[in-house]
Chains A and B, each alone.
Chain A
Amino acid sequence: MARDRNRTDKPGKGVTRRGFLGTVGAGAVAAVTGLPRPGEAVPEITEPKGMVETALSINGRMHRLLVEPRWTLLFVLREQMGITGTKIGCARGECGACTVLMDGSPRYACMTLALEAQGHEITTVEGLMDGEELGDVQQAFVEEDAFQCGYCTAGQVVAAQGLLAANPSPTVDEIRAGMAGNLCRCGAYVHIFRAVERAAKGRGKGGGR
């Protein structure tokens, strides 16, 4: 999760797959994987349009960047900013893998245009870290073994964070309803609900942040 970003922030902490791809460059990767090489025709879906300058507040930091109006927040987070904790799932607001918090409530980044996020505080799974420590919801997911493949986990954790902000001590039914917008193909739901319960209980004891 946030480790990747921290590593790229602090050189010398080792090589990550993502950092490797980023620094070595697409050309070298293309040679290995058979992706389109520079100069090769790449299928164009939509003509690139004019960039708009915008400022997005992400995980407490203001980022000034140029975006195309058609870009979703998900695309900007992952492909423009390299904040890749937020995952692409269905890209149509059904699976919840791309869940981020906008002003504290869960939003699907795949159906939010980046320009719509202006003036709002965006929190991704990376923003739930406390330095190098996991946030309390993340920690609860680890302790309850609340994932199998882990692909939906970032979205699940962020959704749980939003749920607990709105309802600090949810019942099991309220947890099930609150987390219903996040699908898990591995079927780790029972553990996920337990993790949310654990995080809620931890906060009740003053253990959360």
Chain B
Amino acid sequence: MDLAVQRVLRPGSFEEAVRVMAEHPHALPIAGGTDLVVQLRDGRRAADVLVDLSGAGLAFITARNGVVEIGGATTMDAIANSREIRDACPALAAASRLVGAWPIQCRATLGGNLANASPAADTAPPLLVAEASVHLVSADGDRRIQLSELFSGPGETCLRPGELIRSIMIPTQHLQRTVREGFAKVGPRWEQIISVASLAHRFELDADGSIREARVAVGSVAPTPVRARAAEQFLAGKPPTAAVRREAARHLQDDISPIDDVRAPAWYRRVAVSVLLDRALTEAADG
């Protein structure tokens, strides 16, 4: 029980949480704690003061004006069950169901998954594909950034001291039959694993089945979750034939920079993420 924590503050509103964070610049916000408690115990992160966001009113999902907004402390379970999110970003709903196992999903939050900034964060590739933005609030004011700007390295974000993730905003896609979207990950088993490689895709198809626009984002194969721009550009305007799929996998190698670690060697990650892209393209071709 050796967490080096001396105080836990429990603000009753978001405004109070922002104020408390300003008063304690070295405090860490805690929501689900599924990453943070383990890191505090292992000494990988340290904080004298935790600010518990569970009472700050940050668990919500709203859909209006073409935007689905998800509060920072919304759980994976709530996201996976949300009709709004299954409609607007099915890949995010699928990814939320693959974070840890169900007890983790009942507790882990979207804001926490992003703020933790793991290269393997499963919710990041779907949100990158959806071109989501993040609403950040501190006592000094608020700002809205693209999710791609949030991550600055493994475990590192551009969050300023005292700044909280209030919500994540997803532009609602025009729901067309011709859009194919999904998320897949590779690991030793389905549940309770950290992704060895993950991939989210959104393909908009033309009437003849070729790809009008491709969006692909990958996790666990670079210092942060990233969009696969080279593969996307190659795929635009092409039909997902076997030859195109092979060539797309080659272009994907330029988008990534995987490393060897305890979970997998870099070469395996290159193969695995290529297979994920190939499967996504094959499914798109099969309709």
- Which residues of A are at the interface with B, using a C-beta cutoff of 8 A? 45-46, 49-50, 52, 69-72, 75, 79, 91-94, 96, 99, 105-108, 110-113, 115-116, 118-119, 159, 162-163, 177-178, 180-183
Contact = CB atoms under 8 A, between A and B. Distances in A.
Contacts of B33: 111-113, 116
A111 B41 CA distance: 10
B229 to A, nearest CB: 34
A70 B100 contact: no
Contacts of B2: 45-46, 70
B145 interface: no
A158 B233 CA distance: 50
Given A116-B54, A159-B102, 16 more contacts: A46-B2, A46-B3, A69-B5, A72-B37, A92-B38, A93-B34, A105-B77, A108-B107, A111-B34, A112-B107, A113-B30, A119-B55, A178-B102, A180-B101, A181-B100, A181-B101
B191 A93 contact: no
Given A46-B2, A70-B1, A107-B106, A115 B8 contact: yes
B1 A181 contact: no
B59 to A, nearest CB: 13
Contacts of A107: 103, 106-107
B34 A116 contact: no
A92 B41 contact: yes
**Nearest 7 pairs of A and B residues by beta carbon:** A181-B101, A180-B191, A45-B2, A70-B3, A75-B1, A111-B37, A106-B103
A69 B7 contact: yes
A93 B100 contact: yes
B104 interface: yes
Q: Which interface residue of B100, B103, B192 has the most chain A CB atoms within 10 A? A: B103
A70 B5 contact: yes
B7 A181 contact: no
Contacts, number: 98
A98 B107 CA distance: 14
Interface of B: 1-8, 10, 30, 33-34, 37-38, 41, 50, 52, 54-55, 77, 100-104, 106-107, 190-192
B21 to A, nearest CB: 17
Nearest to B33: A111
Nearest to A69: B8
Nearest to A155: B103
Contacts of A52: 8
A163 B102 contact: yes
B106 A106 contact: yes
Nearest to B6: A49
Contacts of B52: 113, 115-116
A69 to B, nearest CB: 4
Contacts of A113: 3, 5, 8, 30, 33, 37, 50, 52
A81 B286 CA distance: 58
Nearest to A118: B10
9 contacts: A70-B4, A93-B100, A96-B101, A105-B77, A111-B38, A111-B107, A116-B54, A177-B102, A181-B191
